[in-house]
Amino acid sequence: MSDAVRSGALAIITGAASGIGAALADEAKQAGMALLLSDIDEGKLKAKAAALGADYMVCNVAEPGDVERLANRAASIGVPIGAVFANAGVMKTAPLTKTSPEDWAFMISVNLTGMANMVRSFVPLMTEQETASRFIATSSVAGLVSAPLTGAYNATKHGVVAICETLFQELRKNAPHVGVSVICPGAVQTDILNLEKYGMGEAPSARSEALAKLMAEKGLSAQELAEKVFIELKKGKFWIFPQNYVFDRFEARYQAIINGYGAEWLSKSKADG
Ligand SMILES: NC(=O)c1ccc[n+]([C@@H]2O[C@H](COP(=O)([O-])OP(=O)(O)OC[C@H]3O[C@@H](n4cnc5c(N)ncnc54)[C@H](O)[C@@H]3O)[C@@H](O)[C@H]2O)c1
């Protein structure tokens, strides 16, 4: 049992203006937590914070100084930290041979450097306080298996899993009151494929069209996902898989590792994507 997502404690959420982050904010509010919401999209962030009566701060997770200021703000609120949701993330699809240096930098800076910044600024605060808290990263199914045409995204989300597994080991002995969880969703109905909001319009590719179809037809709503996440958080789970169709993919990869051959992507599985 974990009491990190307890009433009265503070939840900090990055990428909280939209999609999964916004839904996690709704769940945290329902759980009676105080909220510090952050995002790079100031307009949407303000609106979300106003709707929930939450504190907010614009923060680009890729910028160490921004994340440090967010941590300072969290510390100044005077409420013990319960949950830090390092959720902000971006995705652009392309075959690896066509993934530009700019696209690599875009995904690495937000998904991976952003995660490193969140750990460095928040975990010391959480370690210092005596009450329980939890660092919760949003990775993806793409953090464990590698679909074609999202190579850069896969690489960053594998990195997020590696950071969480390492952090868990590093905290176990010295700060057992700080838990770690990694959320690995499959398709969720959000705005993630809309790159125009980052000034990076993308001509629809076969992969982005397939993902859009998958999200629309089989994706969880962000709200459903957030509800499942909170159920698992209350159990103190490290691995959080809101959709269990992903297990056949993990099994196939594991078998491929043991056998020493490359795993073919399970394109005919129940949840194609
Ligand atoms: N939607 C899915 O199917 C899916 C599946 C698996 C994992 N995820 C992960 O879920 C997380 C949330 O994505 P989403 O689907 O809700 O997408 P979304 O685009 O709806 O929301 C992402 C939010 O992050 C914010 N953001 C982007 N860059 C930022 C930065 N540098 N600093 C701070 N905020 C920033 C955006 O403004 C946006 O509000 C991401 O980490 C994503 O990789 C999504």
| pLDDT tens, position by position, 76-108 | 999 999 999 999 999 999 999 999 999 999 999
What pLDDT does residue 188 have?
A: 97
Task: Identify which of 13, 22, 24, 23 has the alpha carbon closest to the alpha carbon of residue 61.
Answer: 13
- Worst-scoring range by mean pLDDT, 160-174, 193-207, 217-231? 193-207
| pLDDT-based confidence at residue 6 (cuts at 50, 70, 90) | very high
Report the percentage of the chain scoring pLDDT > 90: 84
Q: Answer with the residue of higher pLDDT: 118 or 253.
A: 118
Give the type of residue at 239: W
Q: What is the mean pLDDT of the chain?
A: 93
Instruction: Determine whether the shortest distance from the Cβ of 90 to ligand 1 is under 6 A.
Output: yes
Question: Does the structure show a pLDDT above 80 at 202?
Answer: no
What pLDDT does residue 98 have?
A: 93
What pLDDT does residue 204 have?
A: 72
| pLDDT-based confidence at residue 270 (cuts at 50, 70, 90) | very low
Q: Angle 154-88-107 (CA atoms, 0-180°, nearest 5)?
A: 40
Question: Does the structure show a pLDDT above 80 at 2?
Answer: no
Closest approach atom of ligand 1 to CA 160 = 41
Question: Does the structure show a pLDDT above 80 at 112?
Answer: yes
Our measurement of the distance from residue 230's CA atom to the centroid of its chain's CA atoms, rounded to an integer in Å, reads: 14
For residue 53, the 8-state DSSP code is T
Closest approach atom of ligand 1 to CA 141 = 6
Residue nearest ligand 1's atom 30 by CA: 60
Structure token digits, residue 233: 């958080």
**For residue 180, what are the contacts with CB-CB under 8 A and spacing of at least 6?**
134, 135, 136, 137, 164, 167, 168, 171, 238
Cα 233 to Cα 119: distance, rounded to the nearest angstrom: 18
How far apart are the CA of 173 and the centre of ligand 1, in A? 32
Q: Answer with the residue of higher pLDDT: 63 or 203.
A: 63
Task: Tell me the average pLDDT across 238-250.
Answer: 91
What pLDDT does residue 272 have?
A: 40
What pLDDT does residue 265 have?
A: 72
**For residue 211, what are the contacts with CB-CB under 8 A and spacing of at least 6?**
93, 187, 193, 273
How far apart are the CA of 143 and the centre of ligand 1, in A? 15
Cα 233 to Cα 223: distance, rounded to the nearest angstrom: 15
What pLDDT does residue 24 have?
A: 98
What pLDDT does residue 205 have?
A: 77
In the numeric block, the tokens 């993919």 are attached to: 249
Question: Does the structure show a pLDDT above 90 at 207?
Answer: no
Judged by phi (left if over 0) then psi (alpha if -120 to 50, else beta), residue 106 lies in: alpha
Please report, for residues 14, 105, 120, 178, 184, the alpha-carbon distance to residue 123 in angstroms, rounded to integers and kept in the order given.
15, 25, 6, 8, 21
What pLDDT does residue 201 have?
A: 74
Question: Does the structure show a pLDDT above 90 at 150?
Answer: yes
Report the percentage of the chain scoring pLDDT > 70: 96
Task: Tell me the average pLDDT across 116-133.
Answer: 97
Cα 188 to Cα 87: distance, rounded to the nearest angstrom: 14
